[in-house]
Amino acid sequence: MPTVASPVSLAAPPTSVDRRANALAERLEQGARALAAAVRALSDEELDRAAAVSLNADAPLTCQFFLEDHAVRHSYHHLARIRAALARTAA
């Protein structure tokens, strides 16, 4: 995945933090694409299945709810923390 160079990045060679941030962004994007493909492949019957989930006090959750709440929503939480950490190192 090519990165878009800003005027600032053209003025100086990329730092190891820049390279690590770009590598992390690429890995996250690859993982998101793989997850999206796997979720799209699930049937309605599979998405409607429910089971007790220990993370939620053994409440019976459907596969669809668990995917939306944990895999999707929770990943936004981690992405926000990663972005904040990268912003602190760039400052």
Q: What is the pLDDT of residues 52-84, one digit of tens each?
A: 999 889 999 999 999 988 887 877 788 888 888
pLDDT digits (tens, 9 = 90+) for 7-53: 444 555 667 777 887 788 788 888 888 888 998 999 999 999 999 99
Domain spans, the chain: 17-90
Q: Give φ, ψ of 57 to 5 degrees.
A: 55, 40
DSSP-derived letter for residue 62 is: E
Q: Give φ, ψ of 35 to 5 degrees.
A: -65, -45
